[in-house]
Structure 1
Amino acid sequence: MAVITLTSVSGSPGVSTAALALGVHWPRPVVVIEADTNAVTSAMPGFFRSNLLPELGGIDKVQLAYSRGVLTREDLLDPERFLAIAVHELPPIKSAPIPAIPPGHKLWVVPGFFHLGIADGVSGLWVRLPELLRSLSEAGIDVIIDLGRLGRDDVRMPLIDTSDQVLICANATMVDLNRVYRRLEGPDLTQRVGVSVGSAEKFFLLLNEVPAEQIPAVDFANNTLPVLAMLPFDPQGAATFSVGRPDPKPNRNTYRQKIRSVIAGLGTIIGYSDLDRSAS
């Protein structure tokens, strides 16, 4: 199993969009968990285009299930428990279709909070989730976690610790370079990166191209962390995953194409040969 966590250190520059895009194109069964405690769910009104009711799944319901006893992977994926939404089992919706996934692909999504007022009440969830993630591995199911912005001494650090790879999303600007550099000075991340600036085995940057004042990726790599990839500035292509924009010509979607190469790169790092092929 692979546990891939996406986060940012300032704002949330495309974290949720990239996480959902990775989930759509992931070549193995995968669960995408929206675990952002700084913003309400973007997946439900965006990726799912407000087609689904909040009762169908969510991270708050996962916490409630934990409070009532041990939560197993079978519970998480059981459609009758309404914890994770099985995208591959959703019926076609003509009026506002959900982004299509490749034929035969199994994708579950656990939406984030619908009300931020309860986010503090689930702080105990984050130390319990790693056990569930390990259980998913036994079933050959990978996990992609969307943390949104990572705060200092964040209570969700157990998810960082259990991840195989952590992708820090940032815009390719001097402003974000400085923010990433200074955030890595924090003791909570310094002790986890555990190596000199400019190299890491677990932490990588996922940069976004910007329309103005862009700086080279090598500047980030030399001063902060290795850069896994630079996502193209393609607002319409990215909108397929962020707001469910129709994508009648996916082969011309440069954002989608780059996501496939990111998956291949992760496969090389993790050592998963079946991630080295492009998803459909």
Structure 2
Amino acid sequence: MALVALASAKGSPGVTTAGLVLGALWPRPVLLAECDPAGSDVAIRMTAPGGQPLNSDRGLVSLAAAGRKGLGDDVIMAHSQQLDGGLDAMIGVRSPEQIGGMGGLWAPLGITFNQMHNTDVLADCGRIGPASPQLPVVQAARLVVLVCTATGSSVAHLRERLSSLVHHVDARLGVIVVADPKRRDGVKQVWSVLDAMSVQVQHRWHLAYDPAGAAFFDGRGHGRLDRTALIRTATEIAAEMAASVAMPSQYEYDMAQAAFPGGEVRPGPDLEARR
């Protein structure tokens, strides 16, 4: 299966909400992993089935202790828990101070996330930069998606982060712009900025800025969730994103060719389409 890293260039443009809604709509088994050093939002915003509080001690921190003996699918899932609605989640640290106990877990954790046998992983990595402790998780991902808004400040930080990130990751890149559905001009301006860059961003999505829909992922929702603009736009994004990571990338195909130069290594359908 595959690891998708969701991150922001600056501030909180909606990475956690995007992770929750995409995870809820993901077409295959999926785990939402909170890898944001700033601290967990999911444990505060969401509940366990039946409205019970989530166990904030079971997650990334408990995994750090257990992971010293090795990581694997069973270990990952043993330190995860189910949210009300059915989404599996690994709760992040309670506070930034707990990051010091993570040690060298980040690199093997990212590799394990990307190699889980029956589950995709959506990693909420929060704000990232070259010195971010969770960067090894981002580097292990098959797809790295930066979330931004259509404001000038957010786009400026997006441009700077993409220019830096391309030197640290080999994954395909994507951008989600969180914007009012009526502000398509603002979204187009973001695409124009990306077009002017030398960095190749393979995937671009517009996720509706929708406080009424987002309230459902903060314990405050009312009415029909499926009728919200957030769900309408996220449904299409989740399907496209899941399909994109289900196919081998050009990088993975090249690596397979290098490892088996005389073998019958064939490109996936996305690579055939490029030829």
RMSD: 2.5
Q: Indicate yes or no: 2:219 matched with 1:249.
A: no
Instruction: For residue 62 of structure 1, give the secondary structure of its aligned residue in structure 2.
Output: helix
- 8 Å CA contact retained: 2:172, 2:202: no
Supply the distance in 2 between the matched residues of 1:177 and 1:135 (Cα, whole angstroms).
Answer: 32
Matched with 2:268 is: none
Which residue, out of 125, 129, 147, partners 2:125? 147
Alpha-carbon distance, 1:55 to partner: 5.1
- 8 Å CA contact retained: 1:173, 1:215: no
- 8 Å CA contact retained: 1:113, 1:119: yes
- 8 Å CA contact retained: 1:123, 1:155: no
- 8 Å CA contact retained: 2:114, 2:141: no
Instruction: For residue 41 of structure 1, give the secondary structure of its aligned residue in structure 2.
Output: coil
Quick one: structure 1 residues 84 and 193, their matched pair in 2 at CA, closer, same or farther if it must change by over 3 Å?
Answer: closer
Supply the distance in 1 between the matched residues of 2:202 and 2:172 (Cα, whole angstroms).
Answer: 10
Alpha-carbon distance, 1:47 to partner: 2.1
Identity %, equivalent residues: 24
Write the letter of the residue equivalent to 2:176.
Answer: L
Matched with 2:208 is: 232
Matched with 2:186 is: 214
Supply the distance in 2 between the matched residues of 1:247 and 1:28 (Cα, whole angstroms).
Answer: 27
Matched with 1:190 is: 166
Write the letter of the residue equivalent to 2:191.
Answer: V
Equivalences for 1:1-280 in 2 at 5 Å? 1-37=1-37, 39-48=38-47, 51-54=52-55, 57-67=58-68, 69-78=69-78, 83-87=79-83, 98=84, 100-101=85-86, 107-136=87-116, 138=117, 140-186=118-164, 189-192=165-168, 202-210=172-180, 214=186, 216=188, 217-224=190-197, 225-226=201-202, 228-241=204-217, 243-271=218-246
Supply the distance in 2 between the matched residues of 1:47 and 1:125 (Cα, whole angstroms).
Answer: 26
TM-score, structure 1 as length reference: 0.76
Q: Deviations over 1:157-207 (max 9, x none)?
A: 221222111110000122222111222333xx132467xxxxxx7011100
Structure 1: runs of 5+ lacking an equivalent = 88-97, 102-106, 195-200, 273-280
Alpha-carbon distance, 1:135 to partner: 4.5
- 8 Å CA contact retained: 1:205, 1:227: yes
Instruction: For residue 264 of structure 1, give the secondary structure of its aligned residue in structure 2.
Output: helix
Q: Deviations over 1:228-279 (max 9, x none)?
A: 21111211101212x123343123111011111001221442346xxxxxxx
Q: Deviations over 1:8-42 (max 9, x none)?
A: 111121001101111111111111100000x2211
Quick one: structure 1 residues 185 and 246, their matched pair in 2 at CA, closer, same or farther if it must change by over 3 Å?
Answer: closer
Count of aligned pairs between the two proteins: 239
Supply the distance in 1 between the matched residues of 2:9 and 2:35 (Cα, whole angstroms).
Answer: 15
Write the letter of the residue equivalent to 1:208.
Answer: V
Supply the distance in 2 between the matched residues of 1:71 and 1:268 (Cα, whole angstroms).
Answer: 27
Matched with 2:259 is: none
Structure 2: runs of 5+ lacking an equivalent = 248-275
Greater relative contact order structure (CA < 8 Å, 6+ sep): 1
Supply the distance in 1 between the matched residues of 2:243 and 2:59 (Cα, whole angstroms).
Answer: 32
Q: Deviations over 1:98-120 (max 9, x none)?
A: 4x35xxxxx31001111221112
Instruction: For residue 148 of structure 2, give the secondary structure of its aligned residue in structure 1.
Output: strand
TM-score, structure 2 as length reference: 0.78
Instruction: For residue 129 of structure 1, give the secondary structure of its aligned residue in structure 2.
Output: helix
